[in-house]
Chain A
Amino acid sequence: MIKRFAVILLLLGIGAIFTGLMVNYVPDKALNVTARYYAEQTAPDLGAANIVTAIIVTYRGLDTLGEVTVLFLTAAIVGLVLARGSSDEAPARRDLPPPGELLLTGTRLLLPLILLFGAYVFTHGHLTPGGGFQGGAIIASGMLLMLLSHPLRRFGHRLIAIVESIAGLAFVGIGVLGIALAGGFLDNRILPLGTFGELFSAGAIPIIYTFVGLKVGAEFSSMLVNLSETEDL
């Protein structure tokens, strides 16, 4: 009870800070320097239509690299956490009720579509809303579907790991190429910018986003697979 009271009191304090923030908040009337630069320069410099994507993949590419790394880390650690100790005892698998016919059929039908949609989302990230992360998540949801329909199936950890790693290496590698061929690490202008608004434009952005998508998809999948395979209690 004391704890609850203390928490309320403290959250009142934090709330006061937040209130202070809101009271002092005055919405900008015009874009600030940074935003204006992005608005004006993205198209001519990078050739990307989706400014957010340009920022994510190029201008703040380092953040994105970190972000991808976060997922990589999480996947690895989830693997570590769940692997800990479970390798000692042989998993005592239980018999689950078989999945319904509907689910099986649905999976068979939907899976290619989902994967395709995912790929679309991350390859068109520089043009339309969406990108590697969203696409990756969609691919992972396809994986999820498979997990639901074949709960007992062992998945290709190896494949997932290889996709994940190669995508990661490629991301880093493209970044490094930026140093060699263009203005710096993660510069997308190692490839021609192409025609604004087309699929193969904006330099390396689609490529990077593709790898990000693959990597994110692989990472989420690996997390899900790891979680699903730890039913041994």
Chain B
Amino acid sequence: MNLNIGMALLLAIGMIGTAIMATRGKRSLGISILAAGLASLLASVMFLLLGAPDVAMTEAAIGSGLTTFLFFFVLGRVRRGEND
């Protein structure tokens, strides 16, 4: 049980860290997106700990996976536009 709590704490710290990374304006957008995806992925681990495997799967597949790709797709288009 303590192990779980410890892990949860670690995950929490990780999530907050990645979240701050994702929302700070200084880093490049790509890193922000990745950080957000990472936070989502950490969250899905957390979901597993919380006894929600369904949610964990969904979050991993949709929340962190697909969303991140969507972001990158758009980012790519916009970047290319910016370069032009």
Give the B-binding residues of A (Cβ under 8 A).
50, 52-53, 121, 129-131, 133-134, 137-138, 140-141, 144, 220, 223-224, 227-228, 230-231, 233
Contacts and interface: CB of A to CB of B under 8 A. Distances in A.
Contacts of B56: 129
B70 A227 contact: yes
B69 A133 contact: no
Interface of chain A: mostly helix, strand, loop or mixed: helix
A165 B69 CA distance: 24
Contact of B54 (A53, A137, A138, A223): A53
**A137, A224, A228: most-surrounded residue (chain B CB, <10 A):** A137
Given A134-B58, A137-B61, A137-B65, 17 more contacts: A50-B54, A129-B54, A129-B56, A130-B54, A131-B54, A133-B58, A133-B62, A134-B62, A137-B58, A138-B61, A140-B66, A141-B61, A224-B70, A224-B73, A227-B70, A230-B77, A233-B81
Interface string B48-68: 000011101110011001100
Nearest to A144: B69
Interface of B: 52-54, 56-58, 61-62, 65-66, 69-70, 73-74, 77, 80-81, 84
A187 to B, nearest CB: 22
Interface of chain B: mostly helix, strand, loop or mixed: helix
Contacts of B80: 231, 233
B4 to A, nearest CB: 15
**B57, B58, B77, B84: most-surrounded residue (chain A CB, <10 A):** B57
B77 A233 contact: yes
A137 B40 CA distance: 15
Nearest to B59: A134
A134 B61 contact: yes
A230 B70 CA distance: 13
A134 B58 CA distance: 5
Given A52-B54, A130-B57, A224-B70, A141 B65 contact: yes
Contacts of B66: 137, 140-141, 144, 220
A138 B65 CA distance: 9
25 contacts: A50-B54, A52-B52, A52-B54, A53-B54, A121-B57, A129-B54, A129-B56, A130-B53, A131-B54, A133-B58, A133-B62, A134-B54, A134-B58, A134-B61, A137-B65, A220-B66, A223-B70, A224-B69, A224-B70, A230-B77, A231-B77, A231-B80, A233-B77, A233-B80, A233-B81
A227 B84 CA distance: 19
